[in-house]
Structure 1
Amino acid sequence: MSVADAVRAAAERLAATSDTARLDAELLMAHTLGVSRSDMLLRHMRELEPAGFEGLVARRAAREPVAYIVGHQEFFGLDFTVTPDTLIPRGDSETIVQAALDTARPDARVLDMGTGSGALLLAFLDRRPGSSGIGIDACAAALDVAANNCERLGLAGRARFLEASWLEDGWSNDLGRFDLVLCNPPYVEADAELEPDVRAYEPASALFAGPEGLDAYRAIVPQLGKLLLPDSAAVLEIGARQEEAVSAIARESGFSVKLKRDLAGRPRALILT
């Protein structure tokens, strides 16, 4: 079977479980061939199907995310390594980075709370050469992924990654203060209905935050006052129905709040000053 025929057959198979079946098939084939998707489409469609492709399609048919199968995901124009120890960076979260770029000073010192793959921090630093930052996470394996991404993206020396949990007393004692805090915390309700791609594969500790999805905000927001310098800001990702609840938590801690919507018009980021 040719590459073109194999991709077509895989897309038909995946259509029952994926809204992006054709794209999934093309990405998996390109990964199997060891080339980019565009290069595959231009130069390799008449070649014979490579060994191993069918196994990757079977994994995707079982709802494993493509990003975990191929080991990387594009975010804010950069390519990030991802593993099941980290959330997969999503286009919606680019709103957080853009809000930060619109808000923070060019030479900002940045803290990324719950850094995962490092996507938020590293995307910001890539666009702000005068800035530096720290990413914290409670998962040591995630920090290894973030450090690897930092090195691959040529940002070593401008970012460091530390194992820390905002739930533990004294976790920030030696960090100093920051011009910008970024955070995409867990914010999914414990009983929320999620696609199997997410619930079965992405790390639960980075998804769920109590019955209302607000536990992380209640822990994080009251600590921001001692983390932020004067005239600085925090940018928090929120769920589409959490604007009012998280804004109330922020105002109780003395912050002014500004909403930033994503490209679909949904509430996505709160800027706290």
Structure 2
Amino acid sequence: MLTLDGALGRYPLPRLEARMLLMHAMPGLTHAHIVGHGEEVLPPEAEVRFAGLAGRRLAGEPMAYLIGVREFFGRDFRVTPDVLIPRPDTEILVEAALERAKAGGRVVDLGTGSGAIAVTLALEGDNLDVWAVDVSAAALSVARGNAATLEARVHFVEGSWYDGLPADACFDIIVSNPPYIAHDDHHLQEGDVAREPRLALTDGADGLRCLAEIAQGARARLAPDGWLLVEHGFDQGEGCRALFVAAGLRDVVTLKDLAGHDRVTLGRSG
């Protein structure tokens, strides 16, 4: 018979990850219970579930996909292999958008994925009219589910960037965390990124193609003094600023992430 402590020691996983997988395999189990009752016998069905989860983790599957959730802005969002895993650096994009959003303003999130950005803006903003676009029907299904679970009012549209939006719709804020990794970047083969949807990671080119498309189409979709904000790679700040200026945006600036790297570029319509 396998005990809780025995289960944690059976696989070469970091202790915290093993505990999280064990709790997922045995709903209702807590960190405190594991610490205080390590000698407790693990039910056979939970042992089987835990073994499966541990094996998948050792094979490289991301924890967020195994557990099915990832925290973003203090809320749990459901994630699946159809969407990117939300990351702390993206909260910088959301915070910058909230600082510039007008009460009752209209906002659109291009390439919404899990819906983490759009849902957070809807819940944190001052009565914002939030829209979200994604080319993936599977991703939109996840995003809609998150919006429903968290009781956020978001209009979802299937399409590529501005496609699918009402022809005359203009926005006070356009935000996006688009595919920005170059097709030959080694990071695509490493860590969690290797298991995330390739369509959401790379444009299949130099990493600037999607950023350029979004910037070029922004002025036609921005209300007067409206803002475009995008997340990008740590080495793309200069290139992204050039795209914004070429698209006719003003007050262009790049914000740093928690590590001090270029991460979010923004500019507004003239």
Query: 2:21 aligns to what SS in structure 1?
Result: helix
Q: After TM superposition, give the deviation of residue 46 of structure 1 in Å.
A: 4.0
Residues 112, 136 of structure 1: 8 Å contact kept: yes
Quote the Cα distance in structure 2 between the aligned partners of 1:132 and 1:45: 50
**For structure 2, which runs of at least 5 residues remain unmatched after alignment?**
none
The partner residue of 1:258 within 241, 253, 264 is 253
Equivalent in the alignment of 2:23: 30
The partner residue of 2:239 within 229, 238, 245 is 245
Query: What RMSD over aligned residues (CA atoms) do the two structures have, in Å?
Result: 1.9
Matches within 5 A, 1:122-201: 122-155=119-152, 158-166=153-161, 171-174=164-167, 176-194=169-187, 195-201=189-195
What amino acid is the match of 2:172?
A: D
Q: After TM superposition, give the deviation of residue 107 of structure 1 in Å.
A: 2.3
Q: Deviations over 1:144-176 (max 9, x none)?
A: 100000000011xx2121111138xx5434361
Quote the Cα distance in structure 2 between the aligned partners of 1:75 and 1:249: 29
Count, aligned residues: 261
Q: Deviations over 1:28-85 (max 9, x none)?
A: 1111121375455566544323321011010000000011111111111011011111
Q: After TM superposition, give the deviation of residue 226 of structure 1 in Å.
A: 1.2
Residues 63, 196 of structure 1: 8 Å contact kept: no
Q: Deviations over 1:110-138 (max 9, x none)?
A: 10000001001111211124112111100
Give the share of equivalent positions with the same residue, in percent. 36
What amino acid is the match of 1:241?
A: D
Query: 2:148 aligns to what SS in structure 1?
Result: helix
Q: Deviations over 1:194-234 (max 9, x none)?
A: 24443542111100123321110111111000111112211
Matches within 5 A, 1:85-96: 85-96=82-93
Quote the Cα distance in structure 2 between the aligned partners of 1:175 and 1:146: 24
Structure 2 length normalisation: TM-score? 0.90
Equivalent in the alignment of 1:104: 101
Q: After TM superposition, give the deviation of residue 6 of structure 1 in Å.
A: 2.0
Q: Where in structure 1 do 4 or more consecutive aligned residues deviate above 3 Å?
A: 35-46, 170-175, 195-200
